[in-house]
């Protein structure tokens, strides 16, 4: 049957068994993933401390496959949603290790370090243990880089964006790895994971029509055109060389009348 799919969720060492009622996975490039799970348990009194900040793994099993898809993350939120006749319902949120950088904020200066070195230092300080770089570019040391009243996550993402880097996550049943790249060639093509082993190939577009799909697919595509700032000007003052202009302007092809100025 095309809908012969099973789901399993485990938090190793927590001592509790769960049934997966439903889940929603949100993934984006250069953003922490967010996995919301509705889980059922025979235990109405599970200690939140046994789950919070613990690693959990959601596994999707399909007919003819040992494991169709794996999502691994860290629990950052637990909710008790009540008890029915037999089962108690809980909601858990899974996020990557990197999400916890959003809860850390600092003001610091980095000198004579490359963007890669700075990102590495921030990730290590924030206990992000599973990450790797797959870079093709060369990143020389920066004379000066400032993190000022921003979270570690925002700072890392800003450093990546300034240097043409982005990241995504690779999942296994025991961990998830943050992979930092700077080229499309570093990312494998999307492949449709079969739910019943009847199809393996490039991911396809298939508009939802109310039936049961036999493969992972793209169901919605949107084209968007928005008006945005078309010209940006920044200026500064160098007290050591006050006569040297510090102003820089960059304009796009459209909407140059929509200007932004910052000092």
Is residue 77 domain-resident? Answer: yes
Answer yes or no: do 17 and 90 share one domain: yes
Last residue of a domain, one of 70, 95, 120: 95
Answer yes or no: do 82 and 110 share one domain: no
| Res. 220 pLDDT band, cuts 50 70 90 | confident
Could you report the per-residue pLDDT of 31-41, keeping only the tens digit for each?
A: 999 999 999 99
Answer yes or no: do 12 and 91 share one domain: yes
CATH code: domain of residue 110: 3.55.50.10
Answer yes or no: do 91 and 104 share one domain: no
CATH code: domain of residue 66: 2.30.110.50
Is residue 195 domain-resident? Answer: no
Answer yes or no: do 162 and 117 share one domain: yes
Answer yes or no: do 121 and 174 share one domain: yes
Q: What was the pLDDT predicted at 59?
A: 92
Q: What was the pLDDT predicted at 189?
A: 76
Answer yes or no: do 161 and 118 share one domain: yes
Answer yes or no: do 33 and 49 share one domain: yes
Exposure class string for 19-41: b at 16+ Cβ within 10 A, else e: ebeebeeeeeeebbbbbebbbbb
Handedness of CA 172, 177, 178, 183 (dihedral sign): negative
Is residue 217 domain-resident? Answer: no
Distance CA 247, CA 147 (A): 22
Is residue 214 domain-resident? Answer: no
Instruction: Look at residue 162 and tell me whether its pLDDT is greater than 80.
Output: yes
Q: What is the DSSP letter of 162?
A: H
Quote the Cα angle for 15-19-25, to 5°: 105
| Res. 193 pLDDT band, cuts 50 70 90 | low
More confident residue, 204 or 159: 159
Last residue of a domain, one of 184, 216, 250: 184
| Res. 221 pLDDT band, cuts 50 70 90 | confident
Q: Is 170 exposed, middle or buried (0-12, 13-18, 19+ CB in 10 A)?
A: middle
Is residue 108 domain-resident? Answer: yes
C-alpha distance from residue 127 to each of 66, 78, 108, 133, 217 (Å) = 32, 22, 18, 16, 35
- Assigned token pair, 37: 């799970």
Is residue 203 domain-resident? Answer: no
Half-sphere exposure of 233 (CA within 13 A, CB side): 10
Considering its fold, how many domains does the chain have in total? 3
Residue 142 domain boundaries: 99-184
Answer yes or no: do 84 and 117 share one domain: no
Q: What was the pLDDT predicted at 242?
A: 85
CB distance 174 to 59 below 8 Å: no
CA dihedral 160, 164, 169, 175 (to 10 degrees): -50
Report how far apart the first and last C-alpha atoms of the chain are (Å, whole number). Answer: 63
Predicted TM-score of the model (pTM): 0.81
Place of tokens 């943050």: 178
Answer yes or no: do 73 and 51 share one domain: yes
CB distance 35 to 176 below 8 Å: no
Q: What was the pLDDT predicted at 188?
A: 78
Average pLDDT of 206-210? 72
Instruction: Look at residue 205 and tell me whether its pLDDT is greater than 90.
Output: no
Instruction: Look at residue 139 and tell me whether its pLDDT is greater than 80.
Output: yes
Is residue 152 domain-resident? Answer: yes
Place of tokens 């910052």: 262
Could you report the per-residue pLDDT of 22-76, keeping only the tens digit for each?
A: 999 999 999 999 999 999 999 999 999 999 999 999 998 865 454 568 999 999 9
Answer yes or no: do 126 and 170 share one domain: yes
Q: What was the pLDDT predicted at 1?
A: 43
CB distance 96 to 178 below 8 Å: yes
């Amino acid at each position: 049957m095309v809908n012969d799919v099973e789901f399993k969720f485990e938090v190793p060492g927590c001592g509790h068994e769960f049934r997966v009622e439903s889940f929603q996975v949100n993934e984006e490039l250069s953003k922490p993933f967010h996995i919301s799970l509705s889980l059922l348990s025979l235990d109405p009194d599970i200690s939140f401390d046994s789950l919070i900040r613990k690693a959990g793994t959601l596994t999707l099993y399909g007919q003819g496959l040992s494991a169709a898809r794996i999502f691994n993350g860290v629990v950052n939120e637990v909710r008790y949603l009540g008890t029915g006749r037999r089962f108690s319902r809980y909601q858990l949120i899974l996020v990557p290790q990197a999400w916890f950088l959003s809860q850390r904020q600092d003001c610091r200066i980095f000198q004579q370090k490359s963007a890669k070195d700075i990102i590495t230092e921030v990730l290590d300080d924030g206990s992000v243990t599973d990450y790797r770089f797959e870079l093709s570019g060369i990143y020389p040391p920066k004379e000066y880089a400032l993190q000022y009243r921003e979270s570690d996550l925002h700072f890392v993402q800003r450093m990546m964006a300034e240097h043409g880097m982005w990241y995504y996550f690779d999942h296994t049943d025991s961990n998830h790895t943050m992979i930092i790249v700077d080229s499309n060639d570093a990312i494998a093509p999307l492949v449709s994971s079969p739910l019943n082993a009847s199809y393996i190939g490039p991911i396809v577009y298939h508009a939802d029509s109310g039936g049961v799909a036999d493969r992972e697919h793209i169901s919605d595509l949107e084209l968007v055109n928005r008006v945005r700032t078309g010209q940006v000007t920044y200026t500064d003052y160098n007290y050591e060389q006050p006569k040297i202009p510090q102003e820089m302007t960059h304009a796009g092809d459209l909407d140059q009348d929509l200007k932004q100025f910052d000092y």
